[in-house]
């Protein structure tokens, strides 16, 4: 199969980079088209350096779509109105190809409006850690997608992390939980770095230790039988240091503030839906 990517920016580039590592062993080929060709070329160099693998850069949108079995739409939501007519023209007979969108706010209904009710469409919500194999991608299928189609699309995202299927009404919730949350996690890591440097640590060491602690805590949550709350209790020995931090954070409403921040992302996702 040929897997084509329209848009090799932050997200499209991240997915393509992770997928390029395994495309060949899955018996597939990766293709790309980006408005600014130099960006796709820079990504290709990066992919070659990273994994020794490659992908083909196409000269036009029409060529990319015609040559692909699965087309990943990785352009900004505001550019869909410009790009979709060209995609629709080259998309061929309904059922021939699968269109996968990664865009926030672009609904299956909108995409069916552009490609027809019989087109095969998967709407997804990935996040940038996919480039390091630690992505989390939610997937929604329209009525024309078979289990086999879904497996083919899943294989692309699972080259870079975990996936889960949801209904479309839950995409906003996914955006709050995993799509946008790397950003607020960076803020948290930055705050930990500040504590480290304020207390005399070398900034580079503080950064590595804070980031590793966040990644390690994530791993603990994914592998432990206990809930996150229980894991927190487990490390709060009475009279110890951690319990003092946890008490202070609770007094200052750390959890409520995080919920309010993430909810703003969910609300914005609902507003952007078209
Ligand atoms: N960033 C995230 O964390 C994240 C998470 C989940 C989902 N998403 C979704 O991912 C999509 C892309 O976001 P991004 O952050 O990757 O944006 P981005 O870095 O701006 O990348 C968008 C890319 O699309 C290209 N493009 C625009 N119009 C095009 C056209 N007509 N033909 C070909 N290429 C075109 C741009 O080319 P140029 O080089 O010419 O600008 C750019 O490389 C969005 O729909 C967003 O909702 C992003």
Q: Whose CA is nearest to atom 9 of ligand 1?
A: 103
**Span 251-256, mean pLDDT?**
98
Q: Whose CA is nearest to atom 48 of ligand 1?
A: 11
Residue-wise pLDDT for 100-114, tens only, equals 999 999 999 999 999
Residue of 213, 154, 146 lying closest to 185 (CA atoms):
213
Assess whether the C-beta atom of 129 lies below 6 angstroms from ligand 1.
Answer: no
* φ/ψ (deg, to 5) at 121: -135, 135
Counting atoms of ligand 1 from 1, which one is nearest the CA of 11? 16
Distance 208 CA to ligand 1 centre (A): 29
Distance 103 CA to ligand 1 centre (A): 8
Architecture per CATH, 2-170: 3-Layer(aba) Sandwich (3.40)
> Domain-by-domain residue ranges, the chain?
2-170, 179-272
Quote the percentage of the chain above a pLDDT of 70.
100
Per-residue pLDDT band at 93 (split at 50, 70, 90): confident
Give me the sign of the Cα torsion angle 158, 164, 170, 175. Answer: negative
Assess whether the C-beta atom of 61 lies below 6 angstroms from ligand 1.
Answer: yes
Given a contact cutoff of 8 angstroms between Cβ atoms, the answer to whether 176 and 262 are in contact is: yes
| Matching fold, domains 2-170 and 179-272 | no
Counting atoms of ligand 1 from 1, which one is nearest the CA of 86? 31
Q: Which residues contact 196 (CB under 8 A, 6 or more apart)?
A: 203, 205, 206, 209, 210
Q: Whose CA is nearest to atom 36 of ligand 1?
A: 7
**Span 55-61, mean pLDDT?**
97
Residue-wise pLDDT for 149-206, tens only, equals 999 999 999 999 999 999 999 999 999 999 999 999 999 999 999 999 999 999 999 9
* φ/ψ (deg, to 5) at 272: -75, -15
Architecture per CATH, 179-272: Orthogonal Bundle (1.10)
Burial class (CB in 10 A: 0-12, 13-18, 19+), 239: exposed
The pTM assigned to this predicted structure is 0.93
- The pLDDT, as a whole number, for residue 94 is 80
């Amino acid at each position: 199969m040929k897997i084509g990517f329209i848009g090799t920016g932050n997200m499209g580039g991240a997915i393509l980079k992770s997928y390029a590592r395994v495309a060949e062993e899955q018996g597939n080929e990766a293709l790309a088209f980006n408005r600014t060709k130099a960006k796709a070329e820079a990504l290709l160099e990066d992919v070659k350096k990273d994994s020794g693998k490659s992908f083909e850069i196409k000269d036009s949108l029409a060529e990319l779509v015609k040559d692909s079995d699965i087309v990943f739409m990785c352009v900004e939501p505001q550019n869909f109105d410009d790009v979709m007519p060209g995609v629709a023209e080259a998309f061929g007979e309904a059922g021939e190809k699968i269109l996968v969108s990664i865009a926030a706010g672009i609904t299956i209904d909108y995409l069916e409006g552009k490609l027809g009710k019989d087109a095969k469409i998967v709407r997804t919500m990935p996040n940038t850690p996919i480039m390091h194999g630690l992505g989390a991608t939610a997937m929604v299928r329209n009525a024309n997608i078979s289990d086999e189609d879904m497996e083919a699309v899943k294989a692309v995202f699972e080259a870079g992390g975990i996936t889960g299927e949801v209904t479309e009404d839950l995409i906003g919730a996914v955006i709050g939980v995993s799509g946008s949350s790397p950003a607020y996690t960076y803020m948290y890591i930055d705050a930990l770095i500040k504590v480290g440097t304020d207390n005399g640590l070398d900034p580079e060491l503080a950064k590595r230790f804070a980031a590793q602690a966040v990644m390690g805590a994530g791993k603990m949550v994914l592998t432990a039988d206990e809930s996150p709350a229980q894991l927190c209790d487990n490390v709060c020995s009475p009279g110890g240091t951690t319990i003092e931090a946890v008490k202070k954070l609770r007094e200052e409403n750390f959890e409520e503030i995080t919920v309010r921040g993430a909810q703003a992302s969910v609300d914005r996702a609902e507003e952007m839906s078209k």
